[in-house]
Amino acid sequence: MRRLAAAFAEARGCRPTLLDYGCGKGQFIAEMRKLDLFAEIDGYDPGFAAFQAPPNGRHDFVTCLDVLDAAEPRFLPVVVEDVARLTGDTAIFDCLTKPAAKSGFAPHPAFYWTQIVENAMSVLRIDMHFLGLDGFERAVILAAPQALSPSGPPAP
């Protein structure tokens, strides 16, 4: 997040805004505020009263962490379309590809998540984390709204 925010600020001459889509109780938001990287940080999660209000307008960066893998498959296109609508520059999706056995989540390869995101956004980059770790692996997908030129964010 530091590199993305710094590259954005350098290119645009201002600090970016951040929306954490599906923020839960707001733990990630609290951590991001401590870093003071963003001009504005908002959260949205209809399951928590403090974050039920739909966001106003686009945010430069939208994080969607551990949301797609927890959503019912029939809602995935709607979630990604909503994230695309709210993204001004880059969305960051964090999806389990090899969840812990006891988690109850189904394993899906990175291309499964990529195809879902590609239906509404331009995929810029896919990074795999914890490759080979027994019982745990995830894909981080960076994507831009399809209306924007996919020049791509800086390498993290």
How do residues 60-95 score in pLDDT, each as one tens digit? 999 999 999 989 999 999 999 999 999 999 999 999
Task: List, in order of start, the domains of the chain with CATH numbers.
Answer: 2-104+121-145 (3.40.50.150)
* Contact (CB, 8 A) for 117 and 82: no
Note the pLDDT of residue 145: 94
Note the pLDDT of residue 132: 63
Note the pLDDT of residue 133: 59
Q: Which of 60, 78, 47, 79 shows the shortest CA–CA distance to 19?
A: 60
**SS3 at position 46:** coil
Q: Which residues pair with 41 in a beta bridge?
A: 18
**SS3 at position 52:** coil
pTM: 0.89
Spatial distance between the Cα atoms of 15 and 61, rounded to a whole number of angstroms: 11
Note the pLDDT of residue 130: 80
Note the pLDDT of residue 147: 66
Grade residue 149 by pLDDT with cuts at 50, 70 and 90: very low
Residue 46 has a CB neighbour count (10 Å cut-off) of: 10
- Mean pLDDT is lowest, of 54-63, 91-100, 102-111, 136-145, for 102-111
Note the pLDDT of residue 102: 80
- pLDDT tens, residue by residue, 9-63: 999 999 999 999 999 999 999 999 999 999 999 999 999 999 999 998 999 999 9
* Core vs surface per residue 109-140: b (16+ CB within 10 A) or e: ebeebbebbeebbbbebbeeeeeeeeeebbbb
* Contact (CB, 8 A) for 97 and 110: yes
Grade residue 154 by pLDDT with cuts at 50, 70 and 90: very low
Note the pLDDT of residue 107: 84
